[in-house]
Amino acid sequence: MEKHFQICLTTFALLALSLSALVAADDVVVLSQENFEKEVGQDRGALVEFYAPWCGHCKKLAPEFEKLGTTFKKAKSVLIAKVDCDDQKSLCSKFDVSGYPTIKWFPKGSLEPKKYEGPRTAEALAEFVNTEGGTNVKIATVPSNVVVLTADNFNEVVLDETKDVLVEFYAPWCGHCKSLAPTYEKVATAFKLEEDVEIANVDADKYKDLAEKYGVSGFPTLKFFPKNNKAGEEYEGGRDLEDFVAFINEKSGTSRDGKGQLTSKAGIVASLDALVKEFVAASNEEKKAVFAHIEEEVEKLTGSSARYGKIYSKAAKSSLAKGADYAKKEIERLQRILDKSISPAKADEFTLKKNILSTFA
């Protein structure tokens, strides 16, 4: 019995390892010794990047290879994958990998690869894959949510005292800048619906005067220009998506996650929250007096808080008219809408209402 249990446990562990090894780093599949021959040399061609995490050229290639993976994500006849040679030394040795990055094409049904020797751009790689794999896939052009700054619009965007602006000073030839690019785009996408936040970048190699003015001597340099400090302050946080999101949420008072969705804290105004607790606990007659206080407090609010205040006021008014169950029923209705496929803007609108109504429930 014990032996049977150990065998089952071992089998489960191997299965979990196999599944985790096939997890995609976004749209590029991660390969290892355990799953390589299950995925490569089978019923589809495979373009595999053999890389090392510390390699500068690999970091420079990363956003291009990721773009390639996204482009071929739905192409069933092609696999875009990568192998970490620091972690999978024997696998890389097996395929004669001696430098990084090494990119190899494995034809359908074969483990005899052909080395890729062309330019390391998504466009060139896609052309190679199309030729070798018999596909006709084009690199998708995705509109950027990063505001591009120049000498002409820098002051207009960055020095706008109604906006908190994060600026990346970069150089086109900088490997670290290219590595940061896909993450920075995700940051911009996460905050694209925030009216008071801008995520921007400027080619500091082209606009040297701007780089000099703001003391930029290395790339990438990130500076944050909040509403109340247009001299700018150095961003010294981490460079993962979560680091940037946490920084902006803290500095700008926003409540977003890495996917750009509002968290349960979005829309909550502390001064009104206290009054709502008083409103909920009050008798029907007393509620009218508390409601008047809520409206007075709403009048004092500015910026995005003023918009949230109107939702508080409307929720309190509806609770007075429709009874104590109003908030609970409305939350359930909003959740049903949120469970459907709706636009990001509508999702924001209904999430804010739901969050604020939850303080009345």
HSE-CB for 92 with a 13 A CA cutoff:
19
Respond yes or no: is residue 174 known to be catalytic.
yes
How far does the chain reach from its first CA to its final CA, in angstroms?
A: 52
Query: How would you classify the pairing of strands 197-203 and 233-234?
Result: unpaired
Q: How far apart are CA 170 and CA 181, in angstroms?
A: 10
CA distance 222 to 332: 42
Q: Is 58 a catalytic residue?
A: yes
Provide the strand spans (E) within 221-265: 221-225, 233-234
Question: How far is residue 143's CA from residue 141's CA, in Å, rounded to a whole number?
Answer: 6
**Residue 85 appears among annotated catalytic residues:** no
**Counting Cβ atoms within 10 Å, is residue 228 exposed (0-12), middle (13-18) or buried (19+)?**
exposed
All residues at 6 or more sequence positions from 251 whose CB lies less than 8 Å from its CB, including other chains = 164, 224, 226
Residue 215 tokens, joined: 């003391």
8 carries an active-site annotation: no
Q: Which residues are catalytic?
A: 55, 58, 174, 177
